[in-house]
Every structure is written in structure tokens, then in C-alpha cells.
Structure 1
Amino acid sequence: MPTGYRKAADLPQAIPVFPLAGVLLLPGGQLPLNIFEPRYLNMVDDAMAGDRLIGMVQTRHGDRERPPLAPVGCVGRVTSFAETPDGRYLITLTGLCRFALGDELPVRTPYRQVLARFETYEGDLKEEPPSARLDRPRFLAALARYLDHRGLGIEWESAESAPVDALVNSLAMGLPFDASEKQALLEALTVEDRAETLTAMLEIDAAGGDDDPSVLQ
């Protein structure tokens, strides 16, 4: 999706953040959100009036009202917007680029804002990232065992033919991993690194762990 952002310097240094544990946005991924808290309705209003950018970042254990933020997030652009009769916003964020969190800004807005450092992840902005290698037979075997263990299913024809980056990123975002696992997938520097991390997670989970079935996000 053409955005006009080609390098890290094209992105704003200060961005609003939506802190949400257990939710992952990756570059190129699409994340639907149901916005109902007044402070985040305000955040979306401001984003829509400006560059439409919002940073997704996980939270860590701590102050319930203002929990500590994870060290890496992903900025996305609002690519769809609808308002419900009861005043909620239904939006879709399309991931653009990951960022390392700098200082949190002392702002008057009800939502939090941070300095974002995009340089490490500037490669996320490439329109056509280099093809990633994947041991697809091993990956699909691990995925099949994981899904069976969790009582889940997917469209196998699509999984077998999908480009590596689309397959890995969609599963990383959609499968019910815990917050620390989601963060590890986010921080994997390349798609190949993420594929290897995801394969290991699938194999570990299928070998044991939580027996309660979950559902895709």
C-alpha cells in the first residue's frame, strides 16, 4: 500500500500509542480495533485529523491505569473507519513500521505519546521486502500439530501457497500466543527470524503446555 513513507526520517518522531497487552501489529498486517474508551476515541479523532498514524504497543505488568510499555511497538495507519450508533469507532490499522520506544512525552492529551525511533526497523518500509526463506514442510508440520493441540483450523490450501511474509505475519498476529511470545515475534528483526521463532513456538506448544483450546483473534 503506497503511503509516502520511504525511510525512517519520513515518519514523525512523536506518535500517539494505544497500549494493549496480547495484541500484535506487524508491518503489512491489518488489525481491526473496536474503540470505545473516551481517551482513545479522542486519540482516533486527532489521528484522523492529522497523519492517521497510531502506534500499537504491548503493556507490561505494573500500574493498572498507566502500565509500563514494552520496548518495541509498531506504528500503523488508519485505513478504514466507521462510527457505530452508540459512539464507538471501528477502525483498521495497517502496519507500517516497527519502532523502539524512546521517552514518553509529558502531554496534555488523555492518551499517551512517545518518541519513536524507527531507524533499526527502516527495512519495514520497503514496498517489496526481499524474499524470505522458510522450511515450509517443517513449518507446516509444526503448525498442524499446534492447531490439532489447540483445537483450531485454518485454510490449508492458502497456507501451503501463501508468500512467506504474509503467512508468517498473519499467523504471528492471529494465533493465541501470550504477550511475551507476541513480543518476541514482533522484535524478530527479519521475517526469516520471525519464521524461525514462530516455528519453535509452534513445536514447543504442540509438545505440551496449556491443554485448553483457544480461538484465533
Structure 2
Amino acid sequence: MKQSTDLPGLIPVFPLPGALLLPRSRLPLHIFEPRYLAMLEDCLKTPHRLIGMVQPNAVPGRDESGLHKIGCAGRVTQFSETEDGRYMITLSGISRFRVQSEVDGFTAYRRCEVSWDGFDQDRAPISDTDCAFDRKVFMRLLDRYFASQDLSADWQTLEDAEDELLINSLSMLLDFSPEDKQALLEAPSLGTRRETLVTLIEYAMRGGEGDVMQ
């Protein structure tokens, strides 16, 4: 297990609404804004190559630049540059973190002091498990959901995926609100995340609008 002491206390953060990264999962990103190009350039110079993904948490009338307290850091494991200077990168999820404070400094991008405490399972060498997961029931629900949303899927890949990869990938890919994505991120276990995901899917199938996770 990677200990929290191996991880830096200060990391760059990318506040991107609706973009969810989870441990042991991969998130492709398209980097083109100058401040985030600078962030990537600086990140690649560090030994850990970590970028923290965190949901904005703006409070209208008070704080339009707020951040949620929990995010997930990913290591840049792939990157390629386009002819016009943009980058396509892949973040591999390492661990969730808790924002301690935002650091004012001389960078165009945002940085935060973070704590890795309480997220030991994220850094475990083996996948999280969900003993109560009934895959057949879940896949039937997923089939109905995809049909209701007019979505297609590679069902063989979904069937072959391990439980954690299946639940985390769907949590990241399905079109839920930023607040719902945050609820999926903050789920303390894979079982809780699966229960949250099922609730969101069932809510969407009932034609619900807005946030279901309060």
C-alpha cells in the first residue's frame, strides 16, 4: 500500500464540473487553456506527476470560486501533444484527498494543501470489493437504463469487468450532475458507491430532473 507520507502535501488542482476521477480508474482529459498547460508542464517536472481533480462548489452571492472538500488525485500516465499545442492526457486515479486550504502563489493555476488521511483503501494494491453486489440484477437494471436513455454499450466488456472497475467506470462515465458525481466520489466503500449509483440510475429512469443526492 502506498503510504500517505509518500504523497505530496501540496498539489495542483483542476476544478472541472462533472469530471469524476476514482482510484484505480483512468480519466482522459483535453488540456488547452494556458493556465492548465502551465499546470501540466510543471506537473511533469515532479516525481509524482499528480493532478488533483475536484468539483467546484460555488456559493452564489458569497464565493464563486469554492471547492468541494474531497477530490481525487491522478498521476499523468499518458500524454500527447497536438499540432496546435494542445495536450491529450490520461490521469490514473491514485487516491482521494481532503482539501485543507488553497494556497495563494505565483502560478496561474490553483494549488491546495491536502491531506491523504482516511483514504488508505484507495492506495491498497488490490481492488475494493462489494460482497452484496448482485451482478445479474445490476446488469438488468443497466440494460433498462441504457434503453431508456437511448445509449449503446459494449456489453461483453461490461460483463467481463471486475466489480470495482464496472462500478467506478459507470460512475465516471454516466451523465449525472456535478453534485451527484461528488456523492459517488465521497462514497466510503464500493458497496456504498454501487448503492448510490443504483439510486441515481433508478431516479433517471423515473424521469427525475435536478439533483437527487442532497
TM over 0.5: yes
Q: Measure the CA separation in 2 of the matches of 1:61 and 1:101.
A: 15
Measure how far apart 1:19 and its partner are: 0.7
Aligned-residue Cα RMSD (Å) equals 1.8
Cα pair 1:26 1:169 within 8 Å, conserved: yes
| Paired position in structure 2 for 1:15 | 11
| Paired position in structure 2 for 1:97 | 95
- Give matches, 1:108-123, under 5 Å: 108-123=106-121
Q: 1:141 to 1:121 in 2, by over 3 A?
A: same
**Amino acid of the structure 2 residue aligned with 1:172:** S
Runs of 4+ aligned structure 1 residues displaced above 6 Å come to: none
| Paired position in structure 2 for 1:36 | 32
Say yes or no: does 1:27 pair with 2:23: yes
Q: Measure the CA separation in 1 of the matches of 2:127 and 2:187.
A: 15
| Paired position in structure 1 for 2:173 | 174
Q: Measure the CA separation in 2 of the matches of 1:110 and 1:54.
A: 15
Measure how far apart 1:66 and its partner are: 6.0
- Give matches, 1:1-217, under 5 Å: 6-50=2-46, 51-62=48-59, 67-133=65-131, 134-210=133-209
Give the SS at the match of 1:114.
Answer: strand
Give the SS at the match of 1:120.
Answer: coil
Q: Measure the CA separation in 1 of the matches of 2:158 and 2:83.
A: 37
Indicate the larger mover: 153-162 or 81-90: 153-162
Q: 1:82 to 1:130 in 2, by over 3 A?
A: closer
Q: 1:19 to 1:130 in 2, by over 3 A?
A: closer
Q: Measure the CA separation in 2 of the matches of 1:66 and 1:42.
A: 23
Give the SS at the match of 2:188.
Answer: coil
Cα pair 1:21 1:60 within 8 Å, conserved: no
Task: Report how many residues are paired.
Answer: 206
**Amino acid of the structure 1 residue aligned with 2:151:** L
Give the SS at the match of 1:104.
Answer: strand
Q: TM-score, normalised by structure 1?
A: 0.89
Q: Measure the CA separation in 1 of the matches of 2:129 and 2:16.
A: 31
Q: Percent identity?
A: 43
Q: TM-score, normalised by structure 2?
A: 0.90
**Amino acid of the structure 1 residue aligned with 2:191:** E
Gap regions ≥5 residues in structure 2: 210-214
Q: Measure the CA separation in 2 of the matches of 1:24 and 1:77.
A: 14
Q: Measure the CA separation in 1 of the matches of 2:179 and 2:141.
A: 20
Measure how far apart 1:108 and its partner are: 1.0
**Amino acid of the structure 2 residue aligned with 1:12:** P
Q: Measure the CA separation in 2 of the matches of 1:13 and 1:132.
A: 31
Gap regions ≥5 residues in structure 1: 211-217
